[in-house]
């Protein structure tokens, strides 16, 4: 059950069945801990057990996201580069480079297999980096969409 986000009821059922819950992250730890105390079980301290490791080829896990993005900026104007640097800093600060590596792999895989994907959806279209990577087709820089709507 690795990488599974469970609710407290699922956790309780697993415990009653005698199953190991050490690899399970819980959506609401406070509620689980409240019930755990009633059952005289140890509290769970955080959701840090959610894996940040994606099942993607090693090449993508080792990909230097900043270099990859900069290589795609060959013919961009300085204003766009400023936007990219700002967004890169925001993604890096939030530890989201593994997500970008995953998205690069997904887009590469879809292109390789001639799969079609959507234009873009929701607040993700406010990310210019995702536009550059090909995740969506909305130029958020051109339309002056605020990245803070996506990375709140």
**Which residue positions in the chain have pLDDT lower than 70?**
1-5, 8, 21-28, 32, 44-53, 74
**Domain coordinates of the chain in residue numbers?**
1-51, 58-149
Q: Is the pTM of this model over 0.95?
A: no
**Angle 109-83-147 from CA coordinates, rounded to 5°:** 75
129's tokens: 């980096």
């Amino acid at each position: 059950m690795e990488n599974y986000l469970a609710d407290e009821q699922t956790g309780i059922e697993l415990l009653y069945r005698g199953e190991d819950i050490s690899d399970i992250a819980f959506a609401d730890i406070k509620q689980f801990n409240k019930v755990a105390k009633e059952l005289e079980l140890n509290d769970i301290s955080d959701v840090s057990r959610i894996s940040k490791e994606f099942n993607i080829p090693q090449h993508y896990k080792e990909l230097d996201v900043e270099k990859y993005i900069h290589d795609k900026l060959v013919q961009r104007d300085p204003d766009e580069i400023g936007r990219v640097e700002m967004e890169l800093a925001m993604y890096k600060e939030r530890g989201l480079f593994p997500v970008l590596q995953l998205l690069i792999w997904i887009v590469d895989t879809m292109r390789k297999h001639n799969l079609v994907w959507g234009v873009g959806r929701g607040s993700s279209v406010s990310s210019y980096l995702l536009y550059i990577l090909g995740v969506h087709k909305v130029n958020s820089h051109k339309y002056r969409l605020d990245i803070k709507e996506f990375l709140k």
